[in-house]
A and B are shown apart, each in its own frame.
Chain A
Amino acid sequence: MSKRTLRKSMGYIKKEYPRTRTIPASWYLSSYKFKFNITHMKPFLDKLKQKKLVGLQCSSCNRIYFPPRQICGKCLVKPDRWIDLRETGRVASFTVTYLKDPETGEVLERPIVCAQLDGADTSYPAQLDPDIEFKDTYIGMPIKVHWAENIKGGLMDIEYYDSIEDSAKDLQPKEE
């Protein structure tokens, strides 16, 4: 269905305006150099290489950031304590995207989630297992990290999140 027929069916009253001369032009934004201090990220990325997850804790409000943040949004304090996190988590929020596959032209329905790892106080956008039906996704769904085959030391080492059962053993606290 084209846009025009859609609008017609919804009873859209369109007003036509006379056209004046249009002069085409383009605005080229030259290359962009964003400054970003990477020092607070290094321990995090090093741990990712060992398939371990760590979050950065603010010493003032005890909020744990995953991925780490340079400054706490609440307290204006530099978080400095590294906390080990588990590989399980919950879906904090989700949506479904409808993107066209550039090769086959078919529309892919992919659930995209805001993942909150157990122990962390923040969420970040991530992908779910492509085999999970988008209708089965819900808020509060237990998930587990699925590591990529080639570990490079970046956020994409967590390729996607697997869904797990509510009673899965991974969710139980570890006995020391």
Chain B
Amino acid sequence: MGRQVCVASAGFSEHASKRSDVNMPELVNEAIVDCLKRVPSLDIKDIDAFVNGNMPAFEGSNIPELWMTDWMGARNKPLMRVTTGGTTGGSVAIAGYYSVAAGLPGVDNVLAIAFEQQSQGDTSVGLASVAYGEISVMNSLGIPYDQLTLLLSGGAAIGIASYQATNYMRKSKITEEDLARVVVQNRHNAAKTWWAHLKMPDLTIEEVLDTPYISYPLRYGMVCPASDGACAMLFTTEEKAKDICDIPVFVNGVGSIANETALIGYGGSGSGQLDLSEQLGAQKTSEIAFNQAGIHFPRKEIDYAEVYSPFPNQELMWVEKLGLFEENTATKMYETGVTALNGELPINCSGGVNSTNAIGASALERPAVAALQIMGKASNQVPKTVHTSLGHGWGGYVNLVTMMVMADEPVRKY
């Protein structure tokens, strides 16, 4: 059995569509400084190891972790890099957790850093390179490239999200208005978060429904932005966390599971997932993480949740699949205000990925915000006391789900 791991602090850089004032190392440094500001007794010299990740293809600079070593303060220290597409941040957090849990001599404080500066390069080229293997196979089976771009709806993640949306909308019988309501809640929350990107304090449902379609049923006003930003999270042991911060957050369960690919199967074959909103991977991940954390009734025991939802239909889908609400009831929860800031189970009070999406950093920001909510230091703090929270990530080749369950007291494992 490994050591009990705690989160001592988390920090963010400011997010915007174009951070024209900084380059990538400076952006990362902003997040690290903000992270260490919350733990005054700790210096960058006290950090023992670093875990780092982003998607290099999305911004066009390879091995950035090595040329920003000085800006991270990682000189002459163990450094590891993780890259798993959209879930990079989630995998970075889990790698940070494992580094501490392993109990290596001299590795107690581990800094997990994820970042993305999308304005630097062309993200769509990077996305295409991820799917290039499958695309070339389908091309060899006789589908020309111009037809393929049509079939994959431009090839970006929105193609898969819109298939999920139609499946989900048919199953739970919701309208576009319900999707717009989720967006409005997120953007209002983002306006109260200092680091968020799309701050829209006066957004209404009508305004969202007034924008043109990008890909049915998702409209321009509903989709996530492309942001520049970085996030840092400090993992440490139980003993050290009690010294350096007031309320240490205990990481009680982690899970990361890849399901079958969603839209095209391996090697251009058919996909075994007929209902894209079924998400067996997410169900399995939550089962594993909740089991580790000793949570048997997530609906009652979880106080706060951050889910990875670039598109509003996904937010409704994930909260159901992770076991926070009954099937097909998530829409009602958003309508009645259960998920609002002062509700019973607040969801995405930082604005979520829907308002801020620096791809590599997004999935690390979810557990980071969830941890800060327990500490009571979040930017848009929930009025009630948060005891347990979860941070979730989705991405990879649209099939990997990561999850981290945290609480203000440890689970004693047998």
- The chain A residues found within 8 Å of chain B, CB to CB, are 1, 6, 9-13, 15, 17-20, 22, 25, 27, 29, 32, 34, 36-38, 41, 45, 63, 65-71, 73-74, 92-99, 110, 112, 114, 116, 120-127, 134, 138-139, 152-157
Chain A interface: which of B158-166, B283-291, B365-373?
Answer: B158-166
Which 7 residue pairs are nearest across A and B when measured between Cβ atoms? A154-B142, A122-B270, A96-B216, A69-B269, A95-B162, A11-B202, A17-B21
Q: How far is the CB of A65 from chain B (nearest CB, A)?
A: 5
Contact B207–A95 (Cβ < 8 Å): no
Q: How far is the CB of A23 from chain B (nearest CB, A)?
A: 10
- The chain B residues found within 8 Å of chain A, CB to CB, are 14, 16, 18-23, 60-61, 121, 129, 132-133, 136-138, 140-144, 147, 150-154, 159, 162-167, 170, 191, 198-203, 207-208, 210-216, 220-221, 260, 263-272, 274-276
**B125 nearest CB neighbor, chain A only:** A29
User: Could you tell me the distance between the alpha carbons of A45 and B18 in the complex, rounded to whole angstroms?
Assistant: 48
Contact A73–B275 (Cβ < 8 Å): no
**B162 nearest CB neighbor, chain A only:** A95
User: Could you tell me the distance between the alpha carbons of A169 and B201 in the complex, rounded to whole angstroms?
Assistant: 56
Contact B266–A95 (Cβ < 8 Å): no
CB-CB under 8 A for A6 and B220, given A112-B153, A121-B272 = yes
Within 8 Å CB of B151, what residues of A?
A: 112, 125-127
Contact A156–B143 (Cβ < 8 Å): yes
**A124 nearest CB neighbor, chain B only:** B270
Within 8 Å CB of B211, what residues of A?
A: 6, 10
Contact B272–A95 (Cβ < 8 Å): no
Contact A139–B167 (Cβ < 8 Å): yes
User: Could you tell me the distance between the alpha carbons of A11 and B272 in the complex, rounded to whole angstroms?
Assistant: 42
Within 8 Å CB of A18, what residues of B?
A: 20-21
Q: How far is the CB of A11 from chain B (nearest CB, A)?
A: 4
Contact A34–B207 (Cβ < 8 Å): no
Contact A17–B16 (Cβ < 8 Å): yes
Q: How far is the CB of A55 from chain B (nearest CB, A)?
A: 8
Within 8 Å CB of B221, what residues of A?
A: 6, 10
Within 8 Å CB of B141, what residues of A?
A: 41, 45, 67, 154-155
Contact B274–A123 (Cβ < 8 Å): yes
Contact A67–B269 (Cβ < 8 Å): yes
**A154 nearest CB neighbor, chain B only:** B142
- Which of B20, B136, B276 makes the CB contact (< 8 A) with A20? B20
User: Could you tell me the distance between the alpha carbons of A18 and B216 in the complex, rounded to whole angstroms?
Assistant: 37
Add 7 more A-B contacts to A20-B22, A67-B268 (CB < 8 A).
A22-B20, A69-B266, A73-B272, A121-B270, A139-B170, A153-B142, A155-B141
